[in-house]
Structure 1
Amino acid sequence: MERLAKINNDESVPVHPDHDPRHPLVIFGDHRFCAGECLDVQRMAGPHMHSQIELNFVLRGRMSYWFDGRELTIDENRLCLFWGMIPHQVTDREEGTQFVCLYVPMSVLLGFPNLSRFRNAVFRGAVIEAMEMRPWESEVFKRWRDELLSGDAELMEIVRSELTARVMRIEREGWRDLREQGDAIASLGKRDADWVIHVEKMLRFIGEGALSEISAEDVGRAAGLHPNYAMTLFRKAVGMTINQAIIRHRLDTAQSLLIATDLPITEVAYESGFGSLSTFYEAFQRRFKEKPVLYRKRLRPSG
């Protein structure tokens, strides 16, 4: 079967022939509201990453995810969301399982100060499941999908407002972290009107540049900010330092490479943006509590 990739509007297309099959597919979307065209859930060949917040509503059946080293199951009529920059992969599903897959820009979570605990759980790798669901949710999510795919600018703006409100209701009505790692952090106080744009620029710069040599100062400059102010703003908004976010992204990439490719450990380290093997080993073992080679053996899909 021909391996598939996603592009900005989430349409499935054949991988370009120059794509290196040793590497997992890493996607950086266009940061807009958009929807997946396919309703039928399919197993994925390997973990991938993208820039938006992803919402999955299971219309029927059941699906299993590999997410950051864990297997998680989502049942029928359940809604979950997570940050796409955390490596994830559909590993299994019941026959006939269908879902609605929607993509929301990270700026939605950044733009509301009352979402601070929720937002930080997401950026730290939580898989959020909504506790309160309504009988008509499936029809609403299918309508949102259809309207986002329609290309009608007015309808898409309506969906933007309604979907943003649905995310806010998850925080108000209750949620749980399927990885049991949700934690509260400090909320933002008074801020200027541009801080959301600045933080999104920094997150995007990290996502697109962490595999090269970048520093916290580089991230701040990319957002047009003084380094000290950038570091303070980023920590308040995201719940970690800029350097921690860079290391987090490099480790996310490394675990994806370990599982989805046969690259030697040394090459995994350098492909993930680490300047030395010792730095990679130290960071990897601190986070995953085991050596990369053992991690690969334990989590590599069978077959």
Structure 2
Amino acid sequence: MEQLKPLLLDESVPVHPEHDPRHPLVIFGDHRFCAGECLTVHRMAGPHMHSQVELNFVLSGQMTYWFDGRELTVNEGRLCLFWGMIPHQVIDRREETTFICLYIPMSVFLGLANLERFRDAVFRGAMIEALELRPYDRDIFMRWRDELLSGDKGLAEIVRNELTARVLRIERDGWRDLREEGSAIASFNASESERFDHIERMLRYVAEHALEDISAEDVGRSVNLHPNYAMSIFKRAVGHTINQAIVRHRLDTAQSLLISTDLSITDVSFESGFGSVSRFYEAFSSRFMEKPTAFRRRMRSKGLPPA
């Protein structure tokens, strides 16, 4: 199925989720700060995924996401942040709702020091909402968007520094998980940039190959690390094991397929990378506390038809 293939992009070309009509969508290759061109919020045809951390600043109106099996609403004047690899879809919005959408490379996010609980919450699927906003946030987010879209590399580097500082302030000033969950993990020293690169590359490898028959050892070898060492630094940074990350990506893909296609449960299980239907049922029911058929029926009852 063509829509199931990851969209592999040249690293020099920034691409945004709204630029490609295929769903579910996974974006790889763009590791720079970038901005969405569209200010108007539209309902999305289906859930998609991408590799960066995404920030949404709602300028006007109200938007509702389907996010990892939940419906989460972000109101006017609010700022939220989440990992794009969590399947997400705008399922509703008030007419003429507008927002600014910015993307942060995973390597930058991993490199932020002293953000243990914050970073862990993001990797575990939190939608972070900033508790404190400033009167100038609206204008500065608009300026960041315009400067990123200008293509000026010098301005992009300035935005990189300013937006990184803004994320640090979210953690310092206070935030909440719209799902009301959280946990904590150990941190890396700011000087451990090589490990950040390894972790980002492992995350990308999982995202690109999780639907294949891969193991934690394969992920470690993909970055030329001993499997035990790779598993150790991965768990320390992300908060769960490589094997858990592989299963999670398969389940996230399965969720998207259950909503956005009419594939049979058997086909969904194999398209999602599970070697058997029984293993798929077991993993899905364990994480989501309901069977795939019940999940699809419940989501369709909320008015989410196939894309």
Farther-moved stretch of structure 1 (29-38 vs 138-147): 29-38
Cα distance in 2 for residues equivalent to 1:264 and 1:273? 15
Task: Report the Cα distance in structure 2 between the residues aligned to 1:198 and 1:95, rounded to whole angstroms.
Answer: 43
Q: Which residue of 2 aligns with 1:3?
A: none
CA contact (8 A) 2:17 2:50 kept: no
Q: Residue 66 of structure 1 corresponds to which residue in structure 2?
A: 66
- Alpha-carbon distance between aligned partners in 2 of 1:87 and 1:29, rounded to the nearest angstrom: 18
Structure 1 residues 132 and 231: CA distance shift in structure 2, 3 A:
same
Please tell me the root mean square deviation across aligned C-alpha atoms, in Å.
1.7
Question: Match of 1:174?
Answer: 174
Tell whether the 8 Å contact from 1:48 to 1:256 is kept in structure 2 after alignment. yes
- State the TM-score, normalizing by the size of structure 1: 0.92
Paired residue for 2:232? Answer: 232
Equivalent residue for 1:258?
Answer: 258
Match of 2:107 in 1: 107
Alignment check: 8 A CA contact 2:198 2:223 kept: yes
Q: CA deviation at 1:128?
A: 0.2
8 Å CA contact 1:43–1:93 kept in 2: the answer is yes
Counterpart of 1:277 in structure 2 is: 277
CA distance in 1, matches of 2:17, 2:292: 34
Question: 2:17 touches 2:25 (CA, 8 Å); kept in 1?
Answer: no
* Aligned ranges 1:186-265 → 2 under 5 Å: 186-188=186-188, 192-265=192-265
What do residues 142-174 of structure 1 show as CA deviations (whole Å, max 9, x unaligned)?
000000000000000000000111111111111
Which range is displaced more, 177-186 or 32-41?
A: 177-186
Instruction: Tell whether the 8 Å contact from 1:27 to 1:48 is kept in structure 2 after alignment.
Output: no
1:9 paired to 2:21: no
**DSSP-derived class of the 1:119 partner:** helix
Q: What residue is the counterpart of 2:80 in the other structure? A: 80
Q: 3-state SS of the aligned residue for 1:82?
A: strand
Partner of 1:297: 297
On the 8 A contact 1:67/1:89 being kept in 2, the answer is: yes
Extract unaligned runs of 5+ from structure 2.
1-6
Q: Note closer, same or farther for the CA distance 1:268–1:202 as it changes in structure 2 (3 Å cut).
A: same
Inter-partner Cα distance in structure 2 for 1:185 and 1:237: 7
**Cα distance in 2, alignment partners of residues 257 and 27 from structure 1:** 17
1:29/1:52 contact within 8 Å kept: no
1:80 and 1:129 in contact (8 A); partners too? yes
Partner of 1:155: 155
Deviation at 1:222, TM superposition (A): 1.0
1:210 Cα offset (Å): 0.4
State the SS of the aligned residue for 1:295. helix
* Larger CA deviation: 132-141 vs 181-190: 181-190
Shift of 1:175: 0.4
Q: Per-residue deviation at 1:277?
A: 1.0
Name the CA distance, whole Å, in 2 between partners of 1:86 and 1:29: 17
Q: Distance in 2 between matches of 1:218 and 1:47?
A: 28
Change (3 A) 1:234 1:129: same
TM-score, normalising length: structure 2 = 0.91
CA distance in 2, matches of 1:120, 1:76: 27
Classify 1:274/1:95 alpha carbon distance in 2 versus 1 (closer, same or farther; 3 Å). Answer: same
Structure 2 equivalent of residue 120 of structure 1 = 120
* CA distance in 2 between partners of 1:238 and 1:60 (Å): 34
CA shift for structure 1 position 203:
0.5
How far apart, CA to CA, are the structure 2 residues paired with 1:29 and 1:79? 26
**2:113/2:190 contact within 8 Å kept:** no
The alpha carbon displacement at 1:96 in A equals 1.2
**Is this contact kept in 2: 1:29–1:50, CA < 8 A?**
no
Deviation at 1:188, TM superposition (A): 3.5
Query: Are the structure 2 counterparts of residues 191 and 248 from structure 1 closer, same or farther at C-alpha, using a change threshold of 3 Å?
Result: farther
